[in-house]
Each structure stands twice: as structure tokens, then as C-alpha cells.
Chains A and B, each alone.
Chain A
Amino acid sequence: MAMGSTKWQWFYRLGSPRWFYEISGRWLPWLVCATIILLGVGLFWGLALAPPDARQGHSFRIIYLHVPASLLALAGYYIMAVTGAVGLIWRIKMSFMLMKSAAPIGAALTFMALFTGAVWGKPSWGTYWVWDARITSMLILLFLYLGVLALQRAFTSVEAGYRASAILALVGTVNIPIIYKSVDWWHTLHQPATLKLTSASSIHTDMLEPLVVMVCGFYVFYVLALCLFTRSEIVQQESATAWVKALATSESRT
């Protein structure tokens, strides 16, 4: 019995906005340091040290932004859908706050993936944009993120906005496997995936290593941004509580 209660304690703690606010506050300096180091090293390595691509020359260096942004745009959608589902099923407000915070980050990263892709497409395909399956499904992902953002603001009741946008986020998950498989199902201009979990990656080690650093950097950045957006959402939603009031009055003196 005692074991059961400690086992579930973390789950209830996670549901407390105050607990999340305090623990994430302690993570912030570490997340900032890790983000700066990983992205700084990764960018220098990728832009200056990695050898140029035999066919694409230096334009391939855009991969170091395009691939991590695309990966996190997709991973961020999972986070938004899962936290939305947890919020709907167990009625955990903290989970809804995470979901709401994931929307602007995901939208920005999806835009970054599309933008860097367009800029990369010009020198390698001769065009900024094609209506190919991968690119079109990524554009749909952007609209899904924007839809979730809009729904959150469309209701006078915060709770209704949370629930409606969580449902849209869940419905939109059908798009995710389509994005992943689009380069295999349709023969298009977009090259097949560079990074593969199950088989060897189609990229030379010298080019792969900085990409791995950049992907790690983007993951840490994502956690940092999610913490910041969620903390902002917490003080807004919990402004009636004593601890947020105390926070507001104590910060005025610093």
C-alpha cells in the first residue's frame, strides 16, 4: 500500500502547476547553457568544418537547420497531442497548459522547416516550392498548429478553449504518419529520410556528427521554450492563487 502511494505521487505532483513552475525554474539555467553550447558547436561544425557535399556543394549545409527543425516540428506535435489527450481524459489542467504552450513552438518550427526547405530547394531543385507530398503535408501541419492556436483563443471560457483545441490536435495526428511516409509512398522531388533508426543513415559520418549535435541542441531548445511558454501560461491562469500573488509582489522589488 505504501509503495502504491509513492508510485503515484509523481503523477499527482506533475498535475500541480506550482510544482512544475518551481522545478522548471531550477532547470532553466542548465537548459540555457546546454542550448547555447550544443547549437553553437553544432552550427560551427556544420557550417565551417563539415566537408561540402559532392553534388550540392555548400548549399547542403542548410540540412543542419532543416532536419532538426522538421524533426522537432513533428515531435512537438506528438507532445501537443499526448498532453491534450491526458488533459481530456484525466482533466488535468497542467497537461492542457503544456498542450497550449506546444502550439506556438510547433508552428514556428514548422515554418522554419518549410522556409529552410524552400531556401534549400532553389539551388538544388531550381525552385523554392513544389506541391509535393512531403511539403504539402508539412504545410497542413502548419495549418493544424495554427488551428490549435486559434481555437485556444476562440472561447471566452479557458477550459472550453483547452478542450476544443485538444480535440483538434488529436484529430490532426492522422497527418503525422502521412508526413513520415510521404517520401516512400510517392516518388517526389524531396529526398528520402537522411536519418534512420532501423538502418544505416544515408550520410557520411563527417556530415552526420554535426547533424546529431544540432538535433540534440534543438531537443534541448524545445524543452527550454516549452518550459518558458508553460511558465508564462501558469502565472496567467493561476493569478488568483496566493503563491502567484506573492511572486508578483516579490518580483517588483528586484
Chain B
Amino acid sequence: MKIQFDSLNEIISMDGHGAYVWLAVVVSLAILVALLVSPLRSHAQTLNQLRRQLERHAEPPAKQRDD
């Protein structure tokens, strides 16, 4: 088993098929990354929202007692 290309240019051009192959690779990887980032963001957003909501409903005297 060996690398099928001799230079970086050959890897990029792939005998004229490079544009198709690399377009498929870039778009696929972007979709995969988006599928991980999007649930992580909504997860964090939900918890942040919930935290702010809980802080708003917490009794204000609790803070004043510290002074």
C-alpha cells in the first residue's frame, strides 16, 4: 500500500476529478460538524435559559442578606 499521488498538486487535481472529490469531502465534513455543533449549542442554550429563569425567581432577600 502506498500513497497514489506524487505531489500535493496531484492530490488536489486528481487527474481532473479533484473538484468533484474535494467538493464532496468538504460539504460532507461540514454537514457532519454541523450535526454535532447544533445539538451542543441548543443544549447549552436551554440550560442557560433555565439558569437565568431560576435566578430571576429566586428570592431577592437571599442576596441582601450577604451585605
Chain A contacts to B: CB under 8 angstroms:
39, 43, 47-52, 57-59, 61-62, 65-66, 69, 101, 104-105, 108-109, 111-112, 115-116, 119-120, 122-123, 206, 221, 224-225, 228-229, 231-232, 235-236, 239, 244-245, 247-249, 251-252
Contacts and interface: CB of A to CB of B under 8 A. Distances in A.
B27 to A, nearest CB: 6
A119 B39 CA distance: 28
Nearest to B5: A48
Contacts of A61: 14, 17, 21
- Assign chain B's interface to a size class: 20 to 34
B21 A228 contact: no
B62 interface: no
Contacts of A123: 16-17, 20
B47 A58 contact: no
Interface string B20-37: 110111011001101110
Given A69-B28, A108-B35, A62 B21 contact: yes
A249 B24 contact: no
B15 interface: yes
Contacts of B64: none
A239 B25 contact: no
Q: Please report whether the interface of chain B is mostly helix, strand, loop or mixed according to DSSP.
A: helix
B43 A231 contact: yes
A65 B24 contact: yes
B43 A228 contact: yes
Interface of B: 1-5, 11, 14-18, 20-21, 23-25, 27-28, 31-32, 34-36, 38-40, 42-43, 46-48, 50-51, 54
A69 B28 CA distance: 9
A249 B54 contact: yes
B32 A248 contact: no
Contacts of A48: 3-5, 11
A229 B40 CA distance: 8
Contact of B24 (A62, A101, A235, A247): A62
Given A58-B17, A229-B39, A245-B54, A120 B1 contact: no
A58 B15 contact: yes
A252 B47 CA distance: 9
A101 B40 CA distance: 13
B14 A231 contact: no
Contact of A58 (B18, B31, B38, B51): B18
Nearest to A117: B24
A51 B35 CA distance: 31
B46 A232 contact: yes
Contact of A62 (B1, B4, B20, B54): B20
27 contacts: A47-B25, A48-B3, A48-B4, A50-B4, A57-B15, A58-B15, A58-B18, A59-B14, A59-B17, A65-B24, A65-B25, A104-B38, A115-B28, A116-B27, A123-B16, A221-B35, A225-B35, A225-B36, A228-B43, A231-B39, A231-B43, A232-B42, A235-B46, A235-B47, A239-B46, A239-B50, A252-B51
